[in-house]
Amino acid sequence: MPRPAQSTDTSLHALQIAAPTPQGLSAEVAGQAGSNAALAKLNGAMAELKAMAIAPLLQRAIDAIRAEDAKSAYDWAIKALEQDEYSGVGWYLLGIALERAGDLATSVRAYEAALKLLPEHEDVACDLGRLALRLGMKPQAEDLFRRYLERYPDDPEAANNLVCAIRDQGRHEEAIETLRPAILKTPSNAMLWNTMGTIVSDQGDFENTKLFLLEALRLKPDFAKARHNLGSAMLMLGETEAALVENAAALADVKAEDDRQMIRLARSSMLLCAGRLGEGWDAYESRIHPQFTGRTAYAVDRPRWEPGADLRGRSLLVVAEQGLGDEVLFANVLPDVLERLGPEGKLTLAVEKRLVPLFQRSFPTATVGEHATYLVNGRLNRIIPFLEGGAPVDLWTPMGSLLREFRRALEDFPSRPSFLAADPKRVAHWRKVLRTAPAGPKIGLLWKSAITADARHRYYSPFAGWAPVLAQKGVTFVNLQYGDCTEELEAAERDFGAQIWSPPGIDLKQDLDEVAALCCAMDLIVGFANATLNIAAACGVPTYLISVPGAWTRLGTTSSPWYPSTTTFLPPGYGQWDEVMGEVAEAVGAFAAAAGHPGR
């Protein structure tokens, strides 16, 4: 697919001004297990094994890898190792076959065995490092890549992979300074431009991200990951249709199944942003595909629900998924599910432990318990401990999959004002407590996410951007922000002359049932999309949501179909906070004027 040519000079200029700041765009280390170059080296090693009985078996394994037949490659490698368990080549081929089949944990062990038997075979260290990074073993991956680069300092792929390991540990300045000389040394290497694009994306600079990715694609037009990344950057800039075009091109070029599922998952967000909800939810199933590296595995030994299945009178287990905010967001569908089950049916819910009391009160006819999630060999595994007692379940499903049937179009979203219910007694308690705060309507503030392990900071204005909001008079701002926010509370008073009142006797991170009651006692909640804002909106509290371009949860609208009580504010472009924060300030001022009372 032709694209406008982007000159190396322009991209090199962007490279000079790439400024390091903290982490986003989906990108992985370069290279693939069993690349053509690595297989060619193995063929060379095979020439020295011609007299050995296992040589034909190993050759069959190599041929199978080249043919993208992981199962056959595994079978031939196993046959070779059964005859010679000390064959380093056999262990290496077994590791490649296992990785291609998606068994990452076992492939690590095979690569480790190969590395001990083939200490001079540099590709083993690179493959093991790349796999370690995919499994979240970032320091180990960095060590392996550095070890390889000591012997081969001019290898661009190894330099790229080292940069990925550094970047994924949050050391973005070091990543840029490590990658910059590699690009200047080999500016024709598309892989390096792609990686620089991912780092700049982490900084929220999507215009320069596009420059770097276009250069990668000029050099290598069939570079599926760069095409995928370009589409993701375009989505962040609000260029949804263009993003879908790039994503389709990436899907046409991709070879590995795990990459295909990653790209398809990105497509789901694009489709949802385009308002194509049915297609979007169908593509969203990639998150649980067996060969998607980032999937969560569910330990549930019941038949899986599929769209179209008759639920009336059945017993259905729904397992909440993704982050805490998504567990609340997706619960929008549960009243519809209960109606479909009918009076003879039974709903069982597995949710995050802190949500159990809130969900049990909100859905009193359901059985609600907590799920538990463990990291096993680099993979997330979710279990349902309370099912071990033999709770009757006919079918089960991850909560998000229900949207494929119940929310295929905007018209499927009901106008119900709320779907979660706070404890009325605790709401009354918090209204009494709030009367001890300064006079005026009580407006809760949420300005950040407590999650700092990814590029989420890009979705939130710097705290200084709240100045016009905090300047509004006649209101009492209440701190609803979980996590450590001492610095921001002090800055509000020192820099803006505004006091943000902190409610006493509540853990805003852990006591989510209390948080729901506190939110329901407020007059208004203002902030960005985090778990607390989702809880407030799900309880029907008036909320002002500050969104961003490319936010899939808006489903192609300028509002929030999930929460009718929410008013959405959208900046004109990514990182352009001044205008939208001014609009929020005006709305807060108007709200306070309309309230016309000194508070509850």
Give the residues of the chain that fall short of pLDDT 50. Answer: 1-7, 13-14, 16-24, 26-28, 47-51, 452-454, 598-600
For residue 504, what is the domain's CATH number?
A: 3.40.50.2000
Say if 279 falls within a structural domain: yes
Say if 501 falls within a structural domain: yes
> Residue 568 has what pLDDT?
97
Say if 1 falls within a structural domain: no
- Based on the domain organization, do 399 and 364 belong to the same domain? yes
- Based on the domain organization, do 276 and 357 belong to the same domain? no
Q: What is the dihedral of CA 568, 514, 321, 571, to 10 degrees?
A: 20
**Long-range pairs of 194-197 with CB within 8 A, sequence gap ≥ 24:** 194/27, 194/30, 194/223, 194/225, 194/226, 194/229, 195/27, 195/30, 195/160, 195/163, 195/164, 195/167, 196/15, 196/18, 197/25, 197/27, 197/226, 197/229, 197/230, 197/233
- Based on the domain organization, do 342 and 381 belong to the same domain? yes
Neighbours of 566 (CB within 10 A): 23
Domain coverage including residue 432: 424-595
- Based on the domain organization, do 516 and 408 belong to the same domain? no
> Residue 14 has what pLDDT?
47
Q: Within its chain, how far is the Cα of 265 from the centroid?
A: 10
Q: Which phi-psi region, left, alpha or beta, contains residue 474 (left: φ > 0; alpha: ψ -120 to 50)? A: left
Would you list the DSSP string of 292-349?
-TTPEEEE--SPBP-TT---TT-EEEEE--SSHHHHHHHGGGHHHHHHHH-TT-EEEE
- Based on the domain organization, do 157 and 253 belong to the same domain? no
Say if 263 falls within a structural domain: yes
Nearest partner of 318 among 373, 389, 396, judged by Cα: 396
> Residue 48 has what pLDDT?
45
What is the C-alpha separation between 244 and 257, in angstroms, rounded? 19
For residue 58, what is the domain's CATH number?
A: 1.25.40.10
- Based on the domain organization, do 143 and 224 belong to the same domain? no
Residue whose tokens read 């029907």: 540
> Residue 66 has what pLDDT?
82
Quick one: 396 exposed, middle or buried, by C-beta within 10 A (0-12, 13-18, 19+)?
A: buried
Say if 525 falls within a structural domain: yes
Say if 519 falls within a structural domain: yes
What is the C-alpha separation between 425 and 448, in angstroms, rounded? 29
For residues 455-473, one letter each, b for 16 or more C-beta atoms within 10 angstroms of the residue's C-beta and e for the rest, the string is bbbbbbbebebbbbbbebe
- The token pair at 487 is 């610095």
pLDDT tens per residue, range 534-591:
999 999 999 999 998 889 999 999 999 999 999 999 998 877 899 999 999 999 999 9
> Residue 24 has what pLDDT?
42
- Based on the domain organization, do 570 and 490 belong to the same domain? yes
Say if 161 falls within a structural domain: yes
How many domains in the chain?
4
Model confidence, pTM: 0.79
Say if 6 falls within a structural domain: no
